[in-house]
Amino acid sequence: MSFKIKNTEKENIGIIIVEGEVDMFTSPSLRDKLLPYFERGVKGVIVDLSGVSFMDSSGIATLVEGLQWSKKNIKEFILTGLGDNVLNALSLTKLDRVFNIKADTDDAYKELSER
């Protein structure tokens, strides 16, 4: 499955939708989408991973950077739509409990925008 990424922003909340395989060669694109939000200091970032078929260590490490940003700046960094493959990759690196994980992007956005 080829890699695709797109992003939108609503009410100072960044939403990134990722599809396909996130590996050593595609994860820099995910980072490129994330960094501007971190630098600008938006209210929060939601990463929709429902279309991700595979994620390797570099993908996980890229998401960890989002988590580092959120902890440092007291912002929200939310992952949504995680399939078993991504959940397994997170649990393998013992990081499955540290992320804010929601089932659905719309619900995550609603929760975040009401804050």
Site for another protein, rule CB under 8 A: 23-25, 27-28, 31, 56-58, 60-62, 64-65, 92-94
Of the pair 77, 109, the CB lying nearest another protein is at 77
Distances in Å between the alpha carbon of 102 and those of 3, 24, 81, 112?
22, 25, 7, 11
Q: Closest approach of Cβ 61 to another protein, in Å?
A: 4
Of the pair 33, 112, the CB lying nearest another protein is at 33
H or E stretch covering 46: strand 44-55
Q: Closest approach of Cβ 110 to another protein, in Å?
A: 30
Q: Closest approach of Cβ 27 to another protein, in Å?
A: 7
- Distance separating alpha carbons of residues 26 and 76, to the nearest angstrom: 24
Contacts of 95 (CB under 8 A, 6+ apart): 60, 64
Of the pair 8, 88, the CB lying nearest another protein is at 88
